[in-house]
């Protein structure tokens, strides 16, 4: 299930509230894959890199490995 940018920066601890997420994204302070992103609803994909201030986070999936697989 994809996550949107506003949710992601909150879950990643880059901001404290949804209101703060809305403000920093609309202000052009958040980068996705080194490009300014101003759409709070932007859907993120695995391997997207999100940066705000001194923080950077990699979007990844949280799917369990199939039985018999090795990491």
Residue 66 has pLDDT above 80, yes or no: no
* Rounded Cα distance, 54 and 71, in Å: 30
Q: Which residues contact 65 (CB under 8 A, 6 or more apart)?
A: 71
Decide if 71 is inside a domain. no
The count of structural domains within the chain is: 1
Considering the entire predicted model, what is its pTM? 0.83
Residue 63 within any structural domain of the chain: no
Query: What mean pLDDT comes out for the span 58-63?
Result: 82
Backbone angles phi, psi at 52, to 5 degrees: -150, 125
Cα–Cα dist 14/29, whole Å: 12
Residue 33, domain extent: 3-58
CATH number of the CATH domain containing 42:
3.10.290.10
Q: How confident is the model at residue 2 (pLDDT cuts 50, 70, 90)?
A: confident
């Amino acid at each position: 299930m994809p996550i949107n940018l506003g949710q992601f920066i909150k879950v990643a601890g880059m901001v404290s509230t949804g209101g703060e997420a809305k403000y920093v994204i609309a202000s052009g302070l958040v980068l996705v894959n080194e490009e300014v992103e101003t759409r709070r609803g932007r859907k993120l994909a695995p391997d997207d890199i999100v940066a705000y201030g001194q923080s950077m986070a990699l979007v990844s999936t949280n799917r369990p490995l199939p039985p018999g697989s090795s990491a």
